[in-house]
Amino acid sequence: MLPVVKPIGMDILNDAIDSLVGSSNREDWTPVALNVADATVTISKDKDEKEVLVECRVRFLSFMEKKED
């Protein structure tokens, strides 16, 4: 097994987040709940996760890096 030097996947996600954040006004955003688990990332309309907007299955999600604000 080879060691992972840097979480390069987060660079791609951070670039995508920056692109989305810059493409619209914050006043137009819809508040959501984001749930990150080891096998899925789920975006729901509320904290109770009753109305799921997007659910993405992921493989081998073993780390997360905090997005810079």
- The CA-atom distances, in angstroms, between 49 and each of 4, 6, 43, 53 are 33, 32, 8, 9
What's the number of domains the chain is made of?
1
Instruction: Please tell me the predicted confidence (pLDDT) of residue 18.
Output: 84
- Long-range pairs for 20-23 at CB < 8 Å and ≥24 separation? none
| Residue 58: domain span | 31-62
Please indicate, yes or no, if residue 35 is contained in any of the structural domains.
Answer: yes
Q: What is the pLDDT along the chain (69 residues), one digit of tens a residue?
A: 667 676 666 677 778 778 888 898 889 888 888 887 778 888 898 777 688 999 988 766 555 555 565
Q: Where are the alpha helices (DSSP H) in 4-56?
A: 8-22
Cα distance between residue 32 and residue 42, in whole Å: 10
Instruction: Please tell me the predicted confidence (pLDDT) of residue 21.
Output: 83
Please indicate, yes or no, if residue 58 is contained in any of the structural domains.
Answer: yes
